[in-house]
Amino acid sequence: MLDPNARALLDLMTERGVPPTHTLAPVEARRLYRERRTFTQPDAMPMAEVHDLQAPGPHGAVGMRLYRPDVAAAAPAAPALVYYHGGGWTIGDLDTHDVLCRELAQRSGCVVVAVDYRLGPEHRFPAALDDCLAATRWVFANAEPLRVDPARVALGGDSGGGNLAAVTAIVLRDAQGPQARLQLLIYPATDMRAVAPSHTANAQGYMLTADSIAYFRGHYIDDARHYDDWRASPLLHADLSRLPPALVLTAGFDPLRDEGRQYADRLSQAGVPTQYVCFERQIHGFITMGRVIAEANTAVALCAQVLARSLG
């Protein structure tokens, strides 16, 4: 059964004629995504400190936003979460995920640094990944002035951002540089081939559709041969061992459900301590919708609890 809160939201969107994302030009899709957030998202939590930052990157400066919760206001070195927003590498920004980042920070006690990576189709694969890597390395390198403990850093993201978090963790492992302590992967995209059974079972009717997945993938990936590149499809990497412990969340009525579970299983098989939780009655994107979907608040609380426990 679909969660009644999610069902009511989907019905309201149909009643009001909200256009499917795949029917919109990217600029218009971004605008509507940003505007609709006030209807579904909770009120923004106050923070001890919020300010924007920039890191140098291979394609130019990368925007970021730092959130310091009250409990870390005076801490000389707090744990931190580097967060990559969702939106299919095409929509979404610091503002669409501002409320979620505030909640994760305040509820976990971690500083959150959100990354405003470049989007397609203006900037194709692997530009988003390049930005995320540059920003993450900058956070590690500037831990002292940021008052962040480099030994207690997590990587996280939802949907396309979960994809970027997973790939960033692999790249950092292989570079043998600073390592994250946790991966927080919220309904992550892990296989660009879109062949898992849930892509068929949940192809239509649950907000993220097969049409919208093709739309997002088409704006990010300019050559189908990249589907097999592990930097786009981390599920296809031959070696997922020696990665940070992970919490993987999925939603039962999400086309990405099975590839998220498959990634969790691959991590476990490779010896990575991994927790997997599926919100069986939920839809893709639900975690930002705490004003209208009660289970979103439960999911945020779970993520914050695991962050706090894992980072100390």
Give the residues across from 66 on adjacent strands.
Answer: 51, 113
Is 229 part of the annotated catalytic residue set?
no
DSSP state of 95: T
Whole-angstrom Cα distance, residue 131 to residue 117? 5
Tell me if residue 159 is catalytic: yes
- Whether the CB-CB separation of 95 and 65 falls below 8 Å is answered with no
What's the chain's length in residues? 312
- Does the annotation mark 284 as catalytic? yes
Cβ–Cβ < 8 Å for 282, 294:
no
The answer to whether 195 and 227 have CB atoms below 8 angstroms apart is: no
Which of 159, 198, 233, 310 is labelled catalytic?
A: 159
Catalytic one of 98, 130, 149, 254: 254
| Cα–Cα distance for residue pair 245/247, rounded to 1 Å | 7
Q: Rounded to the nearest 10 degrees, what angle do helices 98-108 and 294-311 cross at?
A: 50
Cα torsion angle, 269, 273, 277, 278, sign:
negative
User: Annotated active-site positions, please?
Assistant: 159, 254, 284
